[in-house]
Amino acid sequence: MSDRSPTPRPGPCPIDGERLWGMLMEMAAVGATPKGGSRRLTLTDEDGAGRELFRSWAESAGCTAVTDAIGNLFVRRPGRIQGLPPVVMGSHLDTQPTGGRFDGVLGVLAGLEVLNSLNGRGIRTDHPVEVAVWMNEEGARFSPPMMGSGVWAGVFGEAEILDKIAQDGARLGDELERLGWRGTAPADHRANSMAAYFELHIEQGPVLEHEGMEIGVVTGAQGQRWYEVTVTGREAHAGPTPMRLRKDALVGAAEIVGLVRRIGLESGDEACATVGILDVQPHSRNVIPGRAFLTVDLRHPDDGILAGLDARFREEAATVCEGLGLGVEVREFWRFPSTPFAPELVGRVRDAASRLGYRWRDIVSGAGHDAVYVADVCPAAMIFVPCEDGISHNEAENISPEDAERGCAVLFEAVAATAINAAVAGRPSR
């Protein structure tokens, strides 16, 4: 199988692109920001308002809604054969503090459009078809990210996540109760299994747009490792302390920032290495910093290479700080391995894009998504559409109505091929 589409021959679109775009714009108005983005931080009133709007649309489409014990919301269109597990589409409605209008929400509302189109065409599926709204994918208010799907997949313990404290001091379990999101259904894939899972998402990078591709067929996701690094020196007066006698924690942190960049540049095009946060204490103009805290994010689709990046980073960070007379602590905060998606579902996405005549290519996701955790326990696949200039996690994030329609059309075709005939439901990817 080629990793790129042949010459396209456009086919009929099976969904209503105008209806989908209207829902996207109405949802974008919930928590709208002055620069045209959206702010619906997890378990805030804005997040609740967005979720209630989605629930009202789903119930108008004849779906039943169920919330599980960690706050994941599932809306279901019944299937023809009793007892079959659902084919599920999903993503998230929460955003970054200055988020865009399409990250996550496209996958949720495109899922709802698929249900509306199945209704409108009078199509009966063997399997039930559901849309999942996962709780706290972004990890912006409560960290780490992907909590709802992580609890459902068994990556996190429910009690552990309920006790997480937000940056503003709120406890996650208390916020679930306040909003009425602490459901009675088990947040456990063993009690609520899926036949297959599909997630449509914006690419969040520039590859598809740069190559003139309309659809990204996501074959898997990069492995990731996140670290919290503390560099310890000695606070001293900036005037009387000679340069040669200083133990400046910020200098050590700056060297580590440069190290992280070198690691990324020297490890091939598929490697990514980022410092996202840098805090300095005591944060005074005329005091040599005695402590610096920074976060490091390393990513690669090959777990062996990622392990090598990890070893190099730890070793060289220690060497840098030792040479400066500084202490350093590197704590791994969060990780997940590179994740291949289910070949049979990936194949259905390719087939759908080809049938519809869209230009597509295979692609690996550089970002984490709920589909990554779901793929541990259920066959899963993803679909990407291009976003303008590759910009995401930004109020300027943008896609065209045609991008949204094409992605949703591919989602419809892949889901229908999986849900209409019970015999073609997928098997776990690993």
Q: Cα dihedral angle (336, 342, 348, 351), rounded to 10 degrees?
A: 80
Stronger pLDDT, 294 or 5, i.e. the higher one: 294
Give me the CATH number covering residue 299.
Answer: 3.30.70.360
Number of domains in the chain: 2
Q: Give per-residue burial for 366-381: e unless 16+ CB within 10 Å, then b.
A: bbbbbbbbbbbbbbbb
Q: Is residue 58 part of a domain?
A: yes
> What is the pLDDT of the chain when averaged over all its residues?
94
pLDDT surpassing 70 at residue 425: no
Instruction: Work out the number of other CB atoms within 10 angstroms of the CB of residue 75.
Output: 25
pLDDT surpassing 80 at residue 192: yes
Residues 177 and 268 in one domain: no
pLDDT value, residue 429: 38
What pTM, to 2 d.p., does this model score?
0.86
**Token pair in block for residue 40:** 């619906």
- Domain C-terminal end among 336, 367, 391: 336
Q: Is residue 151 part of a domain?
A: yes
Q: Which residues pair with 327 in a beta bridge?
A: 232
The closest alpha carbon to 420, from 91, 118, 107, belongs to 118
Over residues 64-77, the pLDDT tens digits come to 999 999 999 999 99
Give me the CATH number covering residue 405.
Answer: 3.40.630.10
| Percent of the chain whose predicted confidence (pLDDT) is above 90 | 91
pLDDT value, residue 427: 42
pLDDT value, residue 426: 47
Residues 44 and 150 in one domain: yes
Domain of residue 97: give its range.
Answer: 17-221+338-424
Over residues 284-336, the pLDDT tens digits come to 999 999 999 999 999 999 999 999 999 999 999 999 999 999 999 999 988 88
